[in-house]
A and B are shown apart, each in its own frame.
Chain A
Amino acid sequence: MYNFEFEKPDTIADAVAALGGEEAQALGGGQTLIPTMKQRLASPATLVSLTGISEMQGICTGDDGSLCIGGATTHGAVAAGAGVYPALADLASHIGDPAVRNRGTIGGSLANNDPSACYPAAALASGAVIKTNTREIAADDYFQGMFDTALNEGEIITEVRFPVPEAANYQKFVQPASRFALVGVFVAKYADGVRVAITGASEGGVFRWTEAEAALSANFAVSALDGLSLPGDGMIGDLHGSGDYRAHLCAVMTKRAVNAAG
């Protein structure tokens, strides 16, 4: 790693101030950023840890019944504490490994927007609201491509609000080495329709499979997906699988998610 100054503010306000400095970067749990820095692929002058900000920790239920998760809440805490949204808790319980889940945070994951990460699928399929220190961003507006989000420089995810669906499920087919999603499909059924978000597959990052959503909104059954497929073009192709294979897995995993969601 290149060296840097380390700061660990107690409040969002102090964190925002610290991030206003020259080449300052926020540090969530560090489970992606620290390995990246070890490879010397990132070189912040100041690293501002968000792990000491108590107002960004924890899980609660909002007035509208949505699940509110502090941006610095670890995957492990979500796995244990998001029982009102079992599919989300289950997703969190399968991110990385137990030690990673004890450090990695939901805000860090969403801010990084790795194209193979799990949380983006949940946020997008749930129509979550990403709350920052300055505004609220709808998931549909938030994800803007691989490692690209609507966040501005120095903007911090303070909370994520998930409307709780009637039924939901996440199916992850793992890349055998990294155990990230080769393809991960999150299906969420709400009163006003079904949302299907897919991570791992597309060169454009997480995306909604609108055809499947329409079919499932009309009939929430595996059979509704019969004949639906995604093209391999635009899918990630690498040594772990071609674009066609990923496209195929999208359909398979969507069916499995619908089946499991019941």
Chain B
Amino acid sequence: MPKDGDIKSGIGASSKRREDIRFLTGAGNYTDDMNMRGQAHVFFLRSDIAHGTINSLDTSAAAAMPGVVQIFTGAEFEAVGSIPCGWEVTDKHGAPMQEPRHPVLAEGKVRHVGEPIAAVVAESLAEARDAAEAIVVDISELPAVVNMKDALKDGATKVHDDLTSNLCYDWGFVEENKAATDAAFETAHHVTTLDLVNNRLVANPMEPRVALGDYSRADDQHTLYTTSQNPHVIRLLMGAFVLGIPEHKLRVVAPDVGGGFGTKIFHYQEEAFCTFAAKACNRPVKWTSSRSEAFMSDAHGRDHVTTIQLALDKDNNFVALRTDTQANMGAYLSTFASSVPTWLHGTLMAGNYKTPLIYVNVKAVFTNTVPVDAYRGAGRPEATYQIERVIDMAARELGVDPIDLRRQNYVTEFPYATPVAVEYDTGDYHATMDKLIEIGDFAGFDARRKASEAKGKWRGLGINNYIEACGIAPSNLVGQLGARAGLYDAATVRVNATGSISVMVGAHSHGQGHETSFPQVVAEMIGIPEDQIDIVHGDTSKIPFGMGTYGSRSLAVCGSAMVRATEKIIAKSKKIAAHLMEASDMDVELKDGVFSVAGTDKSVAWGDVTLAAYVPHNYPLEEIEPGLEETAFYDPSNFTYPAGAYACEVEVDPDTGKVTIERFSAADDFGNVINPMIVSGQVHGGIAQGVGQALLEGCSYDDNGQLLTGSYMDYAMPRADDLPFYAVDHSCQTPCTHNPLGVKGCGEAGAIGSPPSVVNAVIDALNSGGKKVAHIDMPLSPDRVWNAINNA
């Protein structure tokens, strides 16, 4: 296999990112950089209490304030649809989940701090905010439901009066396995039980959300510019379900987007509002979120409370696993909220192991908090964290080596059908563990531990495996599971007359480097320079209907569509070339941008063929159409299953509880890799987010539903001095068997794979210091670690 850097172009090359030029020179075009003639600004008056009944709302004084264009309240939106949920989960009794109405602006009640109550459109944002303060709101405060356990108690205050309780659904998976799983626990040699919390996080892409609505009376055309990972999804959800705008009258544009991490997948009220208000006010309406607003209006992530149990036989084989999770939905169901703790979590509970019996129970719960939805990894980090923590705990209880315990239980034969309804196509978990041991220099750990001890610090080594499912598919299966959308993607390859190519893709690039890596694939297939190919994305008026970027799907799904479309281009161009060379297209080969006929000296260049397609003077018009443009929609037959092994080394300061990350190593199997530089960058970023979850980040509310972590003053973002250089490797490659590129996806791996190893390392460090600590909940902040030390 070639080493990274050996390949200079095409698939496998670390091509420098072309999009960097605009970002490095201030020439990027983010949504907030756009301003339109006549534009007004909106400020949302948001609830500062978590739960209450709106008695009255008086906007008269505010309406008279300088610069005010129009003020909107829930009344104006009563005829407008609910912000939809894109996935209907069926509970363990076969009943659909409880699905409350999610209004654009609060109707009658407020249900979380940050919920928009009214919207002031004014000439400037400052004037809009000035006027919003003059709105008189009378709200009778109701008891807030914050804690999930309390929310599920009989007689608990209901977040939604029209629902039977705060239980969204009670999901069992696989229900048929439950009895056998429970029976296996009865007879197990050893059972390890762990109660844990997967802490609530805020995604915090550095670009806060922005929406800019525009309306053209001339042609009844709505345009929404928005910070989205998936403009077609927004167009479908908002047009069809909320505002009732037919899709041919609605264009959604997501220009440069400053990071997403999941939180920019969802359709938000502010998007619907700006689209609606642009028509109502007859002028463009722009909303720019402040960071403080983002903390109380961007969908949060994670927030699971779980009990997991692992049963082992006398030889330390895993015989059964069961898990009981409460998953916080927040006050409303965000776009994919319901799918995260179920299909994106339960299906991964086998991990990398051949545990024969698994049962997963998930209760999704409404609370008076910001809605919770997918955040980098979405369900899979929660699964991985449980599995890899309980295995480590079992190893410690049994006195066995945590690596050996994992290895003996690895899945080693593929394809492998798990007891949780998925089939892993390929993998080699021993290989990634071997690689991890090498790049993590495990051999030198004891010496490093001694050196730490000499400084009065405790050093720990934590490891874990992970597996994830990416490129969620196929559509006919996910439809049966409740998805209200298809999960294919699409690409149009438009070859221009002179041979350059525009590829219109459904995926959206907001940091992933598609503009660089996607052309590498097409360049490789045709044999022309990468700079002859441009990617067009992010505008529903320019691209085919694709589902966007999330779940590490872009290359595996949209990239596959691009390959299929390019294959069609190649097939057609061979026919044209055959005509030009007076040969059979069966005999035409395309290599390095030149068509030739096998066994002859006949050849014709790529550009000559493309020109012939558009200037078809000498052209087989009776057989094929002129032009060279093809579209493909690709619906995968299975998920892809990236997997890997991660290691973290920490030092703990026993005096303060402060944890520092000394080393972090990641050995991933992503299948084939298109641009190794970009892949490593994705892993680096994921690790930082995972370390952030493990050590720093935690969104917290007080008992009244007040957000305690409402800014960077209290929500700890990982910074450069919190983190080390990472050792990452993706040379273990077992290509995906069911997509044409053999790729698996790499965007979420780092965030999925890193939290358990950090926590495992800290627990290892404390035990090395003689403190018998079994578990600490994330984030492992200094005070929590210090408390654990003191209480041990």
Question: Could you tell me which A residues sit within 8 Å of B by CB distance?
Answer: 1-3, 38-40, 173, 176-178, 182, 238-242, 245, 248-249, 252
B126 contacts A1, CB within 8 Å? yes
A177 contacts B782, CB within 8 Å? no
- Against A, the Cβ 8 Å flags (1 = close, 0 = not) of B702-740 are 000000110011111100001000000000000000000
Partner of B715, one of A173, A177, A252: A177
| Given A2-B130, A176-B716, A176-B781, A239-B786 contact (CB < 8 Å) | no
With a cutoff of 8 Å between Cβ atoms, the chain A residues found around residue B33 in the complex are none
B655 contacts A252, CB within 8 Å? yes
Partner of B712, one of A2, A3, A177, A239: A177
Q: How far apart sit A241 and B786, CA to CA, in the bound complex (Å)?
A: 10
| Given A2-B130, A177-B712, A177-B713, A242-B656 contact (CB < 8 Å) | no
Partner of B292, one of A1, A39, A178, A249: A39
Q: Is B787 part of the binding interface, using a Cβ–Cβ cutoff of 8 Å?
A: yes
Query: Can you list 7 A-B pairs, Cβ within 8 angstroms, ordered by A?
Result: A38-B290, A40-B129, A177-B696, A177-B713, A242-B787, A245-B782, A252-B655
Number of A-B residue pairs at CB separation under 8 A: 50
With a cutoff of 8 Å between Cβ atoms, the chain B residues found around residue A248 in the complex are 786
Partner of B700, one of A176, A178, A182, A239: A239
B708 contacts A177, CB within 8 Å? no
| Given A1-B126, A176-B696, A249-B656, A239-B709 contact (CB < 8 Å) | yes
Q: How far apart sit A238 and B713, CA to CA, in the bound complex (Å)?
A: 13
Partner of B783, one of A40, A177, A241: A241
Partner of A241, one of B129, B130, B782: B782
Q: Which residue of A lies closest to B130 (CB)?
A: A2
| Given A1-B126, A39-B292, A177-B717, A245-B787 contact (CB < 8 Å) | yes
B714 contacts A239, CB within 8 Å? yes
Q: How far apart sit A102 and B722, CA to CA, in the bound complex (Å)?
A: 23
Most chain A Cβ neighbours within 10 Å, of B657, B713, B783: B783
Partner of B714, one of A38, A39, A178: A178
With a cutoff of 8 Å between Cβ atoms, the chain B residues found around residue A176 in the complex are 696, 716, 722, 781-782
Partner of A245, one of B130, B709, B786: B786
Q: How far apart sit A177 and B692, CA to CA, in the bound complex (Å)?
A: 11
Q: How far apart sit A178 and B711, CA to CA, in the bound complex (Å)?
A: 9
With a cutoff of 8 Å between Cβ atoms, the chain A residues found around residue B709 in the complex are 177, 239
Partner of B708, one of A3, A38, A39, A239: A239
With a cutoff of 8 Å between Cβ atoms, the chain A residues found around residue B126 in the complex are 1, 3
B642 to chain A, nearest CB (A): 31
With a cutoff of 8 Å between Cβ atoms, the chain A residues found around residue B716 in the complex are 176-177
Nearest first, the 6 A-B pairs at minimum CB distance are A177-B716, A241-B783, A176-B716, A178-B713, A245-B783, A252-B655
Q: Which residue of B lies closest to A246 (CB)?
A: B783
Partner of A177, one of B290, B656, B714: B714
Q: How far apart sit A235 and B412, CA to CA, in the bound complex (Å)?
A: 55
Q: How far apart sit A239 and B658, CA to CA, in the bound complex (Å)?
A: 15
With a cutoff of 8 Å between Cβ atoms, the chain B residues found around residue A249 in the complex are 656
A251 to chain B, nearest CB (A): 9
With a cutoff of 8 Å between Cβ atoms, the chain B residues found around residue A40 in the complex are 129, 133
Most chain A Cβ neighbours within 10 Å, of B290, B656, B708: B656
With a cutoff of 8 Å between Cβ atoms, the chain A residues found around residue B658 in the complex are 173
Most chain B Cβ neighbours within 10 Å, of A238, A239, A240, A252: A239
A178 contacts B712, CB within 8 Å? yes
B783 contacts A240, CB within 8 Å? yes
With A240-B714, A242-B787 known, 6 other A-B pairs at CB within 8 A are A3-B126, A40-B133, A173-B658, A177-B716, A241-B781, A245-B787
